[in-house]
Amino acid sequence: MLKMSSDVKDIEEELSFGEVEHSAAFLTRLAQVTVYERIFARSEALPLGLAEITVMTLIALNPKARQGEIADALKIKWPRMTKLVRALEEQGLVERIVPKGDRRSVMLGLTPKGQELTTAIRPKMEALDQEVTAILSPEEREQLIELLWKLIIGGNQDAS
Amino acid sequence: MLKMSSDVKDIEEELSFGEVEHSAAFLTRLAQVTVYERIFARSEALPLGLAEITVMTLIALNPKARQGEIADALKIKWPRMTKLVRALEEQGLVERIVPKGDRRSVMLGLTPKGQELTTAIRPKMEALDQEVTAILSPEEREQLIELLWKLIIGGNQDAS
DNA sequence: TATTGTTATACTCTATAACTATA
DNA sequence: TATAGTTATAGAGTATAACAATA
């Protein structure tokens, strides 16, 4: 037992969280960090980061999408998206296509190599995602997904 | 309407997410980013960051806790916690106490000023948290909180 | 030897604004 | 004038390892 103490379960038995225990801001962050931790702990060797994998998956599903549309959908900032796409391009996974209609924009596509990798990695990612949420029953998991989507899509009163 | 397009609702109607739509990793990240965005959009002037506020709240609730315990509970890394606590100390909000029993450790406490600020800010934070999740019914919100806690505390099969 | 906390370093991601090239 | 994307720069946060003091 070499661990010192990064186990929320242990801590949570000792420390009081007060109202923070019911804070959506706190819990969404803690959940995100926890899930990412578990994924990295289980998948010694993902060939790409989660952001990169998600971007490539969306490119595969949305062949006509502009770079900025995909960035916005994933809430990746444009400056970061530029670098991320360039890195994928340098690895020969992604193509940047400037359409004739609007030559300011950039359409993204997967190279054959990118297609292969995306196809190969997809089931692995889904399995990982199931594993790190295995504590939830299928019904609870689906409920959580639905509630998160509702929260994300819904409350845009402040958008403009 | 000066906005260009960072509204997930709009995007989500156009782009296909495929299996990513059911990914816990993706959705916890997206939810966290979205909730934080909304909080910052609404609270022009929080006197401290969310991490700082949460740390001070936990100090108030757990007067005997060590610095590292609080860091672990909030999944804040120790090197960052050191800087965060020092900054709070320099603002006169937090005290660092080295207990006689174990002089390696540091116990944290709030100064009177820190107490005041924490007490004043608590209802504001709770209201903000409710606002940014207002799309959910009270039952749905409670359900979400419960499911997130179950996810966080539960699946620790990989912990050691 | 192990633990608590600090320091240092490099890296990832964010925030912001200025810039380009198109439209 | 506005939009798509890029570049530059500063900051927050992470990851890692080395370190000091104490146990």
Residues with Cβ < 8 Å from B56, sequence gap 6 or more? B48, B88, B93, B94, B110, B114, B117, B118
Percentage of chain B beyond pLDDT 90 is 81
Question: In B 29-88, which Cβ lie closer than 7 Å to strand D?
Answer: 49, 51, 75-77, 79-80, 84
Report whether pLDDT(B10) > 70: no
Q: Which residues of chain A does B126 touch, with a Cβ-Cβ cutoff of 8 Å?
A: 19, 23
Question: In A 79-138, which Cβ lie closer than 7 Å to strand D?
Answer: 79, 81-83, 85-86, 96, 102, 104-107
Q: pLDDT band at A42, cuts 50/70/90? A: confident
Instruction: Judge: A35–B28 Cβ closer than 8 Å, yes or no.
Output: yes
Tokens of B122: 């608590």
Which residue's entry shows tokens 């609080």? B70
Looking at residue B155, what is its pLDDT?
66
Q: pLDDT band at B46, cuts 50/70/90? A: confident
Q: How many CB atoms lie within 10 A of CB A6?
A: 16
Residues B16-36, mean pLDDT to the nearest whole number: 97
pLDDT tens for residues B47-59?
Answer: 899 999 999 999 9
**Which residue of B9, B10, B119, B144 to mutate against A (max A Cβ within 10 Å)?**
B144
Higher pLDDT, B5 or B42: B42
pLDDT tens for residues A45-90?
Answer: 788 999 999 999 999 999 989 999 999 999 999 999 999 999 999 9
**Which residue of A2, A19, A22, A29 to mutate against B (max B Cβ within 10 Å)?**
A29
Cα–Cα dist A13/B158, whole Å? 19
Cβ(A8)–Cβ(A30) under 8 Å? Answer: yes
Higher pLDDT, A152 or B11: A152
Report whether pLDDT(A30) > 70: yes
Higher pLDDT, B135 or B45: B135
N- to C-terminal Cα distance for chain B? 52
